Structure 1
Amino acid sequence: MIVSFIQELHARGVSHAQIAEQAGLPRGRIHQIKHTGPAPEDAFPGTGTITPATPLKREAGNARPVVAMGDVTAAKRVEDLARPDRNGNVLVFTGIHPQGALGAVDLLTSEIAPVWGQVGENRFPAVVGVEYDPAIGEPVRAEPASPLYRHEET
């Protein structure tokens, strides 16, 4: 808990020196406490299996359900983050366009430390704004379009 609090403050731009001063501890101790847990990129997906859920979309011409290739690509990228042990989490990525799911994954992989600093191990929804290159369908920029809200366990 204290590790996530320190990580959250640091992700918000508070320096280790400022945290140490407020806590009445040496700066080195704050740095040590912050780094006792797993790295954000290791802790975020958890230690269990990640089951990416890809949404079905309707084909325009005949309303047949299909899975967009961008959603499959996003699911594969999420799968690459996991260390499977069959006891994991479900992540659902969906967007107005498949590039939205790719952008969400891009945001998680490139900005994992600040995201982890805000949400830790809690569940959270996110709205992500994505700019993408239409020639290749890949995101060129992704950023949160809303605050990250933690779902507290009850």
Structure 2
Amino acid sequence: MQDEVRKVREIPDLFDRGKTATGLLRDYQASVTELSRIRRETLDELKNQGFSQAQIADGIGLSRGRIGQLATSGPAPERAFFGDDDLVVIVGQKIEEGRGRPVIATETVTAYSRLQVLAASYSLSTTMESVPPPGLANLNRHNLVVLGGPRLFPMVAQMQESDPVLRFEEGTDGKWSVLDTRTGERHRSAREDGQNRDIAYLGRLPRPDGKGTFLVSAGIHPTGTQGGVAYLETALAELYGEIRDKRFSTLVECEFDPDTMNVTRAYRATPVYRHAG
């Protein structure tokens, strides 16, 4: 690290020096934040294994008082559910009925706003990328979240085929459902029956390049996509405790206010299914 700093100091061009220093500061700060999270999680794990504060202090080489301070400092462990740095969030555009122009559904915008607030509570910033039809998005990126399903993103549909349990299917009537192959139950959106409920596929899928994963909240309708985010608002710590950074999928059902289209309640409709890999 010090060698890199010395190299920056020796850059003759002042603009290049300032630009390089700014980039390294951002990278180092992101690393410091993640190291703080790892340390806090490690202290939690040692405590859960039955080690006393004195034993932990001796093992790590810090005072008992300092260990007590560090136990609650830094981001919470579940921050790692999203990754180790700021998030890139992809949202899809759809063709507006009657006007033929691409737009982002209001519920999807709300989903992004809710995710932005949730991420900020874990010291993560977000950048939104809007993808027009036919939904050709680059999924080969770290810390990526996709808000939308197979209707908007063909590549997401292909990657969801790797899910051994939950399967999106389009009926002959053009309506979508999710089949749970373990139970044989087919989950449909109650919104299509005039009810104020929707469902979403929430999971971590492999990237097309095989070099990582990405998160996806894919509703049958945009309200469902928002529901996946709403579920994380209350269940992130529990979900992270179950699956950490591994691949998984589950279905989330949500209830929404028909006047505002804001999700008011979200809960799991299936178990959390862990995937191999």
**TM-score between both structures, scaled by the size of structure 2:** 0.39
Question: Structure 1, unaligned stretches of length 5 or more?
Answer: 8-15
Question: Structure 2, unaligned stretches of length 5 or more?
Answer: 1-40, 57-70, 128-140, 149-218
Higher strand share: 2
Q: Distance in 2 between matches of 1:121 and 1:98?
A: 26
Matched, 1:64 2:101: yes
Deviation string, structure 1 residues 2-28 (Cα, Å, up to 9, x no partner): x79x98xxxxxxxx9xxx8xxxx6486
> Aligned to 1:127, which of 229, 247, 251?
251
Matched, 1:92 2:146: yes
> Aligned to 2:79, which of 34, 42, 65?
42
Matched, 1:110 2:234: yes
Once the two structures are aligned, what percentage of the paired residues are identical?
A: 35
Q: Distance in 2 between matches of 1:127 and 1:58?
A: 26
The size of the alignment, in residue pairs, is: 131
Q: Distance in 1 between matches of 2:275 and 2:143?
A: 14
**TM-score between both structures, scaled by the size of structure 1:** 0.65
Would the alpha carbon gap of residues 109 and 28 (structure 1) be closer, same or farther in structure 2, given more than 3 Å must change? farther
Q: Which structure's CA Rg is the greater one?
A: 2
Q: Please give the root-mean-square deviation of Cα atoms over the aligned residues, in Å.
A: 3.5
Would the alpha carbon gap of residues 119 and 26 (structure 1) be closer, same or farther in structure 2, given more than 3 Å must change? closer
Q: Distance in 1 between matches of 2:241 and 2:258?
A: 32
Would the alpha carbon gap of residues 84 and 141 (structure 1) be closer, same or farther in structure 2, given more than 3 Å must change? closer
Question: What is the aligned partner in structure 1 of residue 274 from structure 2?
Answer: 150
